[in-house]
Amino acid sequence: MTAVHQEVVDPESGIDAATVAAKQFLEALGVSTDGPGLRESPARMARAYAEMLTPRTFELTTFPNDEKYDELVVVKDIPVQSLCEHHLLPFTGVAHIGYLPADRILGLSKFARVVELFARRPQVQERLTQQVASWLDDQLGPKGVGVVIEAEHSCMSLRGVRAAGAVTRTSALTGTLRSNPATRAEFLAALPGGPG
C-alpha cells in the first residue's frame, strides 16, 4: 500500500491570515462584516476554502488479480466537487470511471479518493479528467482506463452568461479503452444516458 499525498500548506496554520484577508476582500466589495449575521463570515469563508482545497490522504489499496478478471469494471456517479481555477467558484458533478484490470485490481472506495485527490485544488475540468485517468493508468498498469466527468460550473451559472443547468462533459481514455472501438463503446454504453 502506498500513502498518497498532495503537497499542501497545513490549512489550520493559515486560517487566521485567510480570515483577515477574507474580511478585507468582502469589505473592499462593499460588504460590511460588522453586523451579527456577517461577523463570523470571514472565518467561515476561510475554513470553507481550506476544506475545498485540502484532499484527505489515503492508503492506495490494490490487490493481486488472482482470478485473472479481464472484464470491464465501472464505478459510476462518484461525486466531484472542485473549484474553477479561473474564478475560484465551485463546480460540481459526477465522475464515471472504468478500467480493464491486468495484474492488480483497485479497492473500490479508492476511486472516490482519487477523484478527490485531484479535485481538491484549483482546477479545470479537462485537466482533472486527464489527471485521474493518468494516475490510475500509472498506479494500476491496467489494459485501459476511462474517465468521464460531468459537471455544472457555477462560474457559468451564477455569473457571466448565467446558463443554469448547463453541464460540461469531459473524457479521458487510455490503452484498450482508447484504441479498441468495441471496448470504448462498451465503456460509454455503461454510463448513465449511454446507448444500450
Catalytic residue numbers? 84-87, 125, 153, 155
Grid coordinates of 151: 459537471
Q: Are strands 122-123 and 58-60 parallel, antiparallel or unpaired?
A: unpaired
> Which stretch of DSSP H or E encloses residue 96?
strand 90-100
Q: Which residues contact 146 (CB under 8 A, 6 or more apart)?
A: 96, 97, 98, 99, 133, 171, 172, 173, 174, 177, 184, 187, 188
Q: 44-54 in b/e burial notation, b at 16+ Cβ within 10 A? A: ebbbebbebbb
By the 8 A CB rule, do 76 and 192 touch?
A: yes
Q: What angle do CA 42, 48, 54 make, to 5 degrees?
A: 135
Grid coordinates of 45: 469563508
Q: What angle do CA 7, 10, 15 make, to 5 degrees?
A: 135
